[in-house]
Amino acid sequence: MSDRAGGPARRRRTTTSDGGAASRAKGPDAGPKDRRENGRTEPRAAGKPGASAGDDITDRLSCHVLQESLLSSASGYSNYRGILNWCVVMLVLSNARLFLENIIKYGILVDPIQVVSLFLKDPYSWPAACLIIASNVFILAALHTERRLAVGALSESTGWILHIFNLLFMLVFSSVTVLTVSSLTPVGGVLSLAVYTVLFLKLYSYQDANRWCRETRQAEAKRLTRSHSCPNVANGSAVRSHVSYPGNLTHRDMYYFILAPTLCYQLNFPRSPRIRKRFLMRRLFEMLFLMQLLVGLIQQWMVPTIQNSMKPFQEMDFSRMVERLLKLAVPNHLIWLIFFYWFFHSSMNFVAELLQFGDREFYRDWWNSESVTYFWANWNIPVHKWCLRHFYKPMLRRGINKFVAQTFVFLLSAFFHEYLVSVPLKMFRLWAFMGMMTQVPLAWFVGRYLNGNYGNAAVWMSLIIGQPIAVLMYVHDYYVIHHGSSS
């Protein structure tokens, strides 16, 4: 009797125990379906193995539990993959409509051969290439100055003056050449000045790092009366041959640094063990494909939009100006994103793989930026490292306030942005300079009043809207200067 009476109870306990064990066996990775079946949110079907008549009646009488809606923050739900896919589909469809509308209105405007005219006015004259080749004079001047400093033939103050003169003359020489040579196109001027800007930052880092090595060597010589190798950071990577100061002052070392995808010099760079041919070919394919895509988008989408924006700006039709600005924002931002991937991922990884350069951190997760300062510190790591190492931290060591130091960093960046735009266009309007300097109050406002997703949205808004404003300003002024009288 007791066995028969206790049998169903024991069977129910056994079933419950087995179900609990199965639930525990599934662990935290159990899917939503498993969690609904194991929880109380979904009634158990009658006739299911292990279900009793009492449970079936209870499930039919009670089908509600205490729970939040999925879209409520209190629900803890975070799987929005389907909504993200929906956003991507809508984005593709909306841009496809715009692209089709552009094709119907303007026809096919893509002409790869026309791109050559952006670089060359005369096929037998290559002023931009000649200007870039001439930069070797400044590279060799910096190397020779460091060699003289290493053997004590020059004093530190004299060497510093020679380096500063070399750097300033390099910027002045390139600017004067671009402004005076009429056969140099704006695109050729931008490329030439970009090379000279990168070279300026590299050579400044070169003289700074070698000066630190001399200071370290002199301090160790006083204490230990023996030569001392300048410290280096290898990051645990394989270093082929350890170089000590002044053994680094060679043409091979200098030109490796000039070609390497970094702006900060050190004696021993981290090196990758081998060249990965498949990785190299993928990056090369991306470079070629994305370059053609960029050219096509600019010719087919941006150029007609910019040309149609001139009349509203001349007539100061504010509503039409805003409409043209928003219309330009989409292709401009898409081109900027493609350019970012082309330059910072494909091109720089291609060069790094060729040179077996080990430090591949060219960018961080700037797309998650919740503040303007985080964006500028993470979207261009080579420049950020240079500013931090050679500009920001030296000012802090001199007792300058952090906010003032950050303002000076933005000031330096604003100067080079204006330098790379105004000089090739041969007009000085300071739009790029003012655009960069407005980042200072914007960074303060976003950091103080906006947090989380609101801060991230503000950063994206500044990128999507800010750049087209500067583009339209420069194009409008360039159009007025060169074509205003004829129109």
> Active site residue: 163, 384, 390, 417, which one?
417
Best CA proximity match to 76, nearest among 85, 67, 64, 84: 67
Please tell me the predicted confidence (pLDDT) of residue 33.
Answer: 43
Measured distance CA(452)–CA(472) in Å, rounded: 31
| Alpha-carbon distances, residue 248 vs 150, 254, 269, 431 (angstroms) | 11, 8, 12, 42
CB 271 within 8 A of CB 360: no
* Domain final position from 215, 234, 259: 259
Pair (252, 303) in one structural domain: no
Where do we find the tokens 């671009």? 178
Pair (348, 457) in one structural domain: yes
Please tell me the predicted confidence (pLDDT) of residue 17.
Answer: 41
CB 376 within 8 A of CB 417: no
Pair (455, 479) in one structural domain: yes
**Would residue 426 count as lying in a domain?**
yes
**What is the span of the domain harbouring residue 184?**
110-224+244-259
Measured distance CA(332)–CA(338) in Å, rounded: 10
Please tell me the predicted confidence (pLDDT) of residue 197.
Answer: 95
CB 118 within 8 A of CB 187: yes
Q: How many residues does the chain have?
A: 487
CB 188 within 8 A of CB 181: no
Cβ neighbors of 417 (< 8 A, separation 6 or more) are: 432, 433, 435, 436
Pair (400, 456) in one structural domain: yes
**Would residue 93 count as lying in a domain?**
no
| Alpha-carbon distances, residue 183 vs 122, 173, 179, 419 (angstroms) | 7, 17, 10, 19
**Would residue 150 count as lying in a domain?**
yes
Q: What tens-digit pLDDT sequence spans the chain (487 residues)?
A: 444 444 444 444 444 444 444 444 444 444 444 444 443 344 444 445 555 677 777 777 777 888 888 888 788 888 878 888 888 888 888 878 777 877 887 777 777 666 666 666 666 678 888 999 999 999 999 999 999 999 989 999 999 999 999 999 999 999 999 999 888 888 889 999 999 999 999 999 999 999 999 988 888 777 765 444 444 444 444 445 688 888 899 999 999 999 999 999 999 999 999 999 999 999 999 999 999 888 888 888 888 888 777 777 777 778 888 888 888 888 888 899 999 999 999 999 999 999 999 999 999 999 999 999 999 999 999 999 999 999 999 999 999 999 899 899 999 999 999 999 999 988 888 888 888 888 889 989 998 888 888 999 999 999 888 888 888 888 877 777 766 544 4
Number of domains present in the structure of the chain: 2
417 is catalytic: yes
DSSP notation for 332-353: HHHHHHHHHIIIIIIIHHHHHH
Measured distance CA(331)–CA(471) in Å, rounded: 12
Pair (250, 306) in one structural domain: no
Please tell me the predicted confidence (pLDDT) of residue 119.
Answer: 62
Measured distance CA(473)–CA(332) in Å, rounded: 14
Pair (252, 307) in one structural domain: no
Sign of the Cα pseudo-torsion (278, 280, 281, 285, in order): positive
Pair (254, 301) in one structural domain: no
Pair (211, 319) in one structural domain: no
**Would residue 203 count as lying in a domain?**
yes
**Would residue 171 count as lying in a domain?**
yes
Specify the amino acid at residue 300: Q
**Would residue 98 count as lying in a domain?**
no
DSSP notation for 292-336: HHHHHHIIIIIHHHHHHTHHHHHHT-HHHHHHHHHHHHHHHHHHH
Specify the amino acid at residue 323: E
Pair (116, 207) in one structural domain: yes
- Tokens describing residue 61: 């009488």
Please tell me the predicted confidence (pLDDT) of residue 209.
Answer: 93
Please tell me the predicted confidence (pLDDT) of residue 182.
Answer: 84
**Would residue 123 count as lying in a domain?**
yes
**Where does 362-401 have alpha helices with state H?**
372-378, 381-387, 393-397
Left if phi > 0, otherwise alpha if psi is -120 to 50, otherwise beta: which for 388?
alpha
Pair (299, 424) in one structural domain: yes
Pair (203, 305) in one structural domain: no
**Where does 39-155 have alpha helices with state H?**
53-61, 81-106, 116-119, 127-134, 136-150
Best CA proximity match to 145, nearest among 170, 168, 171, 163: 163
Cβ neighbors of 56 (< 8 A, separation 6 or more) are: 44, 46
Please tell me the predicted confidence (pLDDT) of residue 486.
Answer: 44
DSSP notation for 28-68: GG--HHHHHHHSSSSPPPTT-TT--HHHHHHHHH-------
Q: How far out from the chain centre does Cα 245 lie? A: 33
Please tell me the predicted confidence (pLDDT) of residue 163.
Answer: 95
Pair (277, 186) in one structural domain: no
| pTM passes above 0.85 | no
**Would residue 382 count as lying in a domain?**
yes
